[in-house]
Amino acid sequence: MAVDASGRILVFSEDGAIAQSGPLLAANLIDGDVPEGVTLEVDIARAYINSPSTGLVHEIDYADGARVARSLDVEGDASALVETGH
């Protein structure tokens, strides 16, 4: 998984295929770069990426074409992303 210069989440599969989300992080980019505070966490079933400037944490189903499963509105500082459990 990666974030491209337009703020899309890219999912690379073993066969070379690439799936992509919409530009989820476009509001966070500074000259095409992801700033400090943006974190991508990947677990066995989903990936999570925070958008500090919008206060959202996006849950990505990377096995389903980089589909956004849900976006969680975080009260407080969305740059403090930590995943717990499994």
Q: Indicate the SS3 state at residue 63.
A: helix
- Asked if pLDDT for residue 59 goes beyond 80, the answer is yes
Provide CATH code, domain 2-73: 2.40.10
User: In the sheet where 56-61 sits, what is the strand order?
Assistant: 40-42, 47-51, 56-61, 67-73
* Domain residue ranges in the chain: 2-73
This prediction has a pTM of 0.84
Could you report the per-residue pLDDT of 64-86, keeping only the tens digit for each? 999 999 999 987 777 766 665 65
